[in-house]
Amino acid sequence: MQHLESYLQGRWQRGQGDATPIHDANTGAVLADACSRGLDLGAALSHARDVGGPALRALTFAERGAILMTLSRAIRDIRDELLDLEADNMGSTRGDAKFDVDGASGTLAFYAQLGSQLGDRRTLVDGEEVRLSRSARWVGQHVLVPRRGAAIHINAFNFPAWNMAEKLAAALLAGVPVLTKPATATAVAAERVVRAFVDTGALPDGALSLLCGSVGDLLDHVGPQDAIVFTGSGDTGRKVKGHPAVLRHNVPVNVEADSLNAAVVGPDIGPGDATWDMAVTEIVRELGQKAGQKCTAIRRILVPAEREDDLRAALLDRFTVMQVGDPRVHETTVGALSTPQQKTDVEAGVAAMAAAGLELAWQFEGDVPSSGSYVAPRLFRSAAGADAPYVHEHEVFGPVATLLPYSGDADEAAGIVARGGGSLVSSVFSDDADWAGGLLLELAAWNGRLYWGSAKVADGATGHGAVMPGTVHGGPGKAGGGEELGGERGLRFYLQRCAIQGDAGLLRRLLG
């Protein structure tokens, strides 16, 4: 059995006392454990701030970008090993594990290229000079400089490589050291990635720390120059935001939380249309990929009432090729849930949906392994149309979605999506530019990202659930209210904006 270690103050360490078991998602057997008891997390943060911070700030954006490219290559070098680890620890099919691992290396490479573009600078200017008086020489200029603290990253269980890498890339390029905390239940791949990073020798001392096991008293040690990025449940996110030390020091917290994402099928498309086929493909993929354990997965499917039977038939036809089982078998399309607790939670959520009056429109009828954390994928429908309060308030984090018939009116669709309280992403499938355009602009207030599926992009779009590093990832309200990625925008969470007032010539000389 593997004993995961933390990487703190430049060395690998293991806590003392009882460790938390980490399970094989396919069999339920314990394959590793992790413990953080007794580790000096205050000293770890101080080391990151006092050693890692100055070392990163001494580098230019281009030099930091070069480090990120080395880290991207380090992931690619152990790609097959990571795919195997995720199959065991998380029940991920090879395709699902690639989605995580390749997303991690790709995001690091994207930010490496951004660093190259930003070049031999260490700070950024924000906007144009502002003339402040009658004198043309007296101006103000907004600048962005790295915070002098550490970035604490608390990551989700479902993407141990990508979720860690996308946070890490933006912070390190901004010049801020990172202490990353993976979810214990799926930390096997995360620990292996960090070991590969450390082995490159590319990271300055203190630039990256890893905490495996409980978060312990970590947040007790945060200070006014630190920043926190959290991905997980809304309840835990609120606890992080409300921690006394976080409140006392006004530490910025970025949260990505629960998200009741939607897909809206427009009234202008139907069977045989390229856009219709695109909608069916995305819905099927989002139900089964990662066994539905994606923060961007489609949970609510809005379909014009007169097209509901057509859409249901198209989905069921695609579902016939679905296979649930051992993720290491090539024919498997849906692997296990990542943890025993996730299986318990999904089954409880499915029971609650039935109790709330939702009808079971389809359930996987093949063999579902009784061992491990497997569940049968399901599609529900609401006989009451969009008036289904449970699906607008609760996310079942597994291979579960619900059909919601609506009239085809754009304003009605916008109101239904908004009932989710804020989402990471929603999709609109329509070739009617006027209908879809009005709906998209209305939905923009309730979503961090919108995906417009139409005939002209049916063969080239990246997919509803694909988070691309060049655009922001996050969402308002229930989705956490945060933003990540978005190219240079992703750096800004780790940078302090300051207005410097002074002589125009001196400022230009200072800031290049």
In a domain, 390, yes or no: yes
Q: Which residues of the chain have pLDDT under 50?
A: none
User: Which secondary-structure segment (H or E) carries 54?
Assistant: helix 53-57
Q: Are residues 276 and 253 in the same domain?
A: no
pLDDT given for residue 370 in this prediction: 87
In a domain, 23, yes or no: no
Q: Are residues 185 and 211 in the same domain?
A: yes
Q: Are residues 317 and 209 in the same domain?
A: no
Number of domains, the chain: 2
pLDDT given for residue 497 in this prediction: 97
In a domain, 115, yes or no: yes
Q: Are residues 280 and 369 in the same domain?
A: yes
All residues at 6 or more sequence positions from 284 whose CB lies less than 8 Å from its CB, including other chains: 315, 318, 319
pLDDT given for residue 291 in this prediction: 94
Query: The domain spanning residue 129 has which CATH number?
Result: 3.40.605.10
In a domain, 34, yes or no: no
pLDDT in tens, 124-133: 999 999 999 9
Per 3-state DSSP, what percentage of the chain is helix, strand, and coil (rounded to 5)?
A: 45, 20, 35
Q: Are residues 113 and 238 in the same domain?
A: yes
Query: The domain spanning residue 319 has which CATH number?
Result: 3.40.309.10
Tell me the C-alpha distance between 254 and 448, whole Å.
13
Q: Are residues 202 and 282 in the same domain?
A: no
Range of the domain at 151: 41-257+483-511
Q: Are residues 315 and 437 in the same domain?
A: yes
Burial class (CB in 10 A: 0-12, 13-18, 19+), 368: middle
Q: Are residues 101 and 191 in the same domain?
A: yes
Q: Are residues 140 and 275 in the same domain?
A: no
pLDDT given for residue 385 in this prediction: 85
Query: Could you list the active site residues?
Result: 256, 295
Tell me the C-alpha distance between 87 and 325, whole Å.
11
In a domain, 36, yes or no: no
In a domain, 5, yes or no: no
Tell me the C-alpha distance between 13 and 23, whole Å.
21
User: Which secondary-structure segment (H or E) carries 498?
Assistant: strand 495-503
In a domain, 138, yes or no: yes
pLDDT given for residue 1 in this prediction: 82
In a domain, 478, yes or no: no
- Report DSSP state, residue 3: E
Q: Are residues 73 and 204 in the same domain?
A: yes
Assessment of whether the complete model's pTM goes beyond 0.85: yes
- Report DSSP state, residue 49: I
Q: Are residues 446 and 506 in the same domain?
A: no
Q: Are residues 165 and 266 in the same domain?
A: no
Are 305 and 407 a contacting pair, CB within 8 Å?
yes
